[in-house]
């Protein structure tokens, strides 16, 4: 799961492989904006058929948190 | 459950009018940086919008659309027994703008005329009501007018809404029509999320005062007054990708049809990224999903008929099509319908 989430962020933010780490707080990325937010929620909906409610997404801080959250769904 | 079925009632004509003046979202301006404007265009697909000058109201755009439709179809005005004006940008708080339009259009005094205050779901809500009137044998034709001047609602200096909206008006004629077959409608409401899209002040809950017309600066740098519209974009996004697909499925189930039976999907034109996502998620081929929001922006309840006039004016008059329409937004309110368009008359887009 974690590697899938990292790959997803690399694609959405157009970053090189290896520049996204599990402990990163993704909201601090320079490329993080509302389009990135929509893209992440939409991609998760495509891949896992689940829309993360906004108030739950707000509690997720790091890449790893997101992977753990999806694993527990 | 607000599910409706009608038989042998259909749309026989559609027209739309837009203001001449175009605003290109990528034209440099003092408020949005080039990067911000490009990001909005990329995310929404909205490149250009039509902006009405101060002397053109939603009713004027509807009047132009209706006059042209009535003239070109050679409609006897005495046959129009109901006029429905759907808008959240009326001429006055009172009287209802629809009544003024009854007179301007020269319709009979025994024509019912009124307004409905509802936004992006308003085309489907209006059609459902028009179809229901047409079940009465005493009603010959219903004229549905959808008009909005949303550029006057939102602040151009609002980061989340400044580049999204456009102005337009549309006229649709509905009447009994044997070739139309069965039509299905679903209408929904969720007032718990009323604050997602709203104009906070200027009504009777928070009346207009010198305070409500003062510009305020917000955390994200947006500048607006309390009498201008606000929108919680990510809240609306959650709503759209969850509730809208469910409603489409409900209408397909009620009608016993599948995605493959539908020739054209007419989504409210608000955000191409979101509606493309819904289409992909539901297995709707993108070539069945026409867009005109690149040219006109979000025109609220006008976007569906405007899309037909702009993108389908060659196709619809020549070939019968089964279409699914879905409108969603302010309220929150959303509605979906499945109907047959059996070669309606489509006027050429009017610019005033």
Q: Beta-carbon neighbour count of residue B190 at 10 Å?
A: 13
Q: Residue A33 pLDDT > 90, yes or no?
A: no
**Three-state secondary structure call for residue B229:** coil
Give B230-240 pLDDT, tens digit per residue. 999 888 998 99
Mean pLDDT for all residues in chain B: 96
Identify whether the C-beta of residue B186 lies closer than 8 Å to the C-beta of residue B345: no
> CB within 8 A of A28, min separation 6: which ones?
none
Give A36-47 pLDDT, tens digit per residue. 898 999 999 988
Whether B258 and chain A come into contact, CB under 8 Å, resolves to no
Residue of chain A whose Cα is closest to the Cα of B237: A38
Does the beta-carbon distance from B280 to A46 stay under 8 Å? yes
Does the beta-carbon distance from A35 to B277 stay under 8 Å? no
Going by pLDDT thresholds of 50, 70 and 90, the confidence category of residue A35 is confident
Partners of B113 in the beta sheet? B83
Which tokens sit at B63?
């009047």
Going by pLDDT thresholds of 50, 70 and 90, the confidence category of residue B319 is very high
Whether B237 and chain A come into contact, CB under 8 Å, resolves to yes
Instruction: Output the pTM of the full model.
Output: 0.94
In the predicted model, what is the mean pLDDT of residues B203-232?
95
Q: Residue A34 pLDDT > 90, yes or no?
A: no
Does the beta-carbon distance from A42 to B273 stay under 8 Å? yes
pLDDT of amino acid A31: 86
Cα–Cα distance for residue pair B60/B271, rounded to 1 Å: 26
In the predicted model, what is the mean pLDDT of residues A50-63?
91
Identify whether the C-beta of residue B327 lies closer than 8 Å to the C-beta of residue B123: yes
Does the beta-carbon distance from A54 to B234 stay under 8 Å? yes
CB burial of B12-44 (b: ≥16 within 10 Å; e: otherwise) equals: bbbbbbbbeebbebeeebebbeeeebebbbebb
Q: Exactly one of B268, B271, B307, B337 is catalytic; name it.
A: B268
Q: Residue B145 pLDDT > 90, yes or no?
A: yes
Identify whether the C-beta of residue B105 lies closer than 8 Å to the C-beta of residue B169: no
Whether A46 and chain B come into contact, CB under 8 Å, resolves to yes
A45 chain-B contacts, CB cut-off 8 A: 241, 277, 281
Q: In chain B, what percentage of residues exceed pLDDT 70?
A: 100
Q: In chain B, what percentage of residues exceed pLDDT 90?
A: 95
Alpha helices in chain B (DSSP H): 34-44, 58-72, 97-104, 122-134, 233-255, 272-282, 293-296, 303-311
Partners of B328 in the beta sheet? B334
Q: Identify the H or E element spanning A66.
A: helix A63-71
Residue of chain A whose Cα is closest to the Cα of B45: A35
C-alpha separations of B248 from B258, B284, B319, B333, B334 in Å: 10, 11, 24, 14, 10
Whether A45 and chain B come into contact, CB under 8 Å, resolves to yes
Which of A37, A46, A53 lies closest to B281 in CB terms? Answer: A46
Note the ipTM here.
0.82
Does the beta-carbon distance from B273 to A45 stay under 8 Å? no
Identify whether the C-beta of residue B144 lies closer than 8 Å to the C-beta of residue B113: no
Which tokens sit at A28?
């601090």
Give B299-315 pLDDT, tens digit per residue. 999 999 999 999 999 99
Does the beta-carbon distance from A53 to B238 stay under 8 Å? yes
Q: Residue A1 pLDDT > 90, yes or no?
A: no
Whether A47 and chain B come into contact, CB under 8 Å, resolves to no
For tokens 């999907």, name the residue. B265
The reply to whether B277 belongs to the active site is no
Does the beta-carbon distance from B280 to A37 stay under 8 Å? no
Give B163-197 pLDDT, tens digit per residue. 999 999 999 999 999 999 999 999 999 999 999 99
pLDDT of amino acid B234: 86
- Give the distance from residue A41's alpha carbon to the nearest chain B alpha carbon, in angstroms: 9
Whether A32 and chain B come into contact, CB under 8 Å, resolves to no
pLDDT of amino acid B233: 87
In the predicted model, what is the mean pLDDT of residues B308-323?
96
A46 chain-B contacts, CB cut-off 8 A: 277, 280-281
In the predicted model, what is the mean pLDDT of residues B274-291?
95
Tell me whether strands B350-351 and B345-346 are parallel, antiparallel or unpaired. unpaired
Does the beta-carbon distance from A38 to B274 stay under 8 Å? yes
pLDDT of amino acid B37: 93
Dihedral pair phi/psi, residue B107, rounded to 5°: -85, 160
Q: Identify the H or E element spanning A57.
A: helix A54-57
The reply to whether B120 belongs to the active site is yes
B235 chain-A contacts, CB cut-off 8 A: 54
Going by pLDDT thresholds of 50, 70 and 90, the confidence category of residue A55 is confident
Number of Cβ pairs < 8 A linking chain A and chain B = 36
Give B34-68 pLDDT, tens digit per residue. 988 998 999 899 999 999 999 999 999 999 999 99
């Amino acid at each position: 799961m974690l590697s899938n989430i990292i790959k997803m962020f690399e694609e959405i933010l157009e970053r090189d492989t290896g520049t996204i780490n599990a402990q990163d707080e993704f909201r601090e990325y320079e490329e993080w904006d509302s389009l990135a937010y929509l893209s992440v929620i939409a991609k998760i909906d495509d891949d896992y058929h689940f829309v993360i409610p906004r108030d739950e997404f707000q509690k997720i801080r790091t890449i790893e948190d997101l992977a753990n959250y999806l694993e527990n769904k | 459950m607000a599910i409706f079925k009608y038989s042998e009632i259909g749309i026989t004509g559609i027209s739309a009018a837009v203001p001449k003046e175009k605003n290109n979202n990528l034209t440099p301006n003092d408020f949005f940086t080039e990067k911000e404007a490009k990001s909005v265009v990329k995310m929404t697909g909205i490149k250009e919008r039509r902006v009405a000058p101060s002397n053109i109201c939603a009713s004027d755009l509807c009047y132009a659309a209706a006059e042209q439709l009535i003239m070109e179809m050679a409609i006897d005005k005495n046959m129009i027994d109901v006029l429905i004006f759907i808008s959240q940008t009326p001429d006055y708080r009172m009287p209802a703008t629809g009544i003024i339009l009854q007179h301007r259009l020269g319709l009979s005094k025994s024509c019912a005329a009124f307004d409905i205050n509802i936004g992006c779901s308003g085309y489907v809500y209006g059609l459902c009501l028009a179809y229901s009137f047409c079940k009465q044998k005493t009603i010959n034709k219903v004229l549905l007018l959808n008009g909005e001047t949303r550029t006057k609602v939102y602040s151009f200096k609002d980061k989340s809404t400044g580049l999204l909206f456009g102005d337009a008006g549309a006229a649709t004629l509905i009447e009994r029509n044997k070739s139309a077959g069965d039509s299905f409608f679903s209408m929904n409401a969720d007032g718990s999320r009323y604050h997602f899209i709203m104009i906070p002040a200027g009504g009777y809950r928070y009346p207009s005062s010198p305070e409500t017309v003062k510009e305020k600066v917000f955390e994200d740098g947006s500048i607006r007054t309390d009498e201008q519209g606000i929108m919680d974009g990510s809240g609306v996004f959650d709503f759209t990708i969850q509730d809208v697909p469910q409603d489409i499925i409900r209408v397909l189930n009620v009608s016993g049809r599948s995605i493959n039976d539908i020739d054209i999907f007419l989504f409210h034109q608000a955000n191409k990224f979101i509606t493309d996502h819904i289409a992909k998620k539901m297995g709707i081929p993108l070539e069945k999903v026409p867009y005109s929001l690149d040219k006109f922006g979000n025109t609220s309840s006008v976007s569906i008929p405007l899309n037909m006039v702009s993108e389908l004016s060659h196709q619809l008059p020549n070939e019968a099509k089964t279409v699914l329409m879905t409108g969603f937004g302010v309220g929150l309110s959303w509605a979906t319908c499945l109907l047959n368009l059996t070669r309606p008359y489509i006027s050429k887009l009017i610019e005033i």
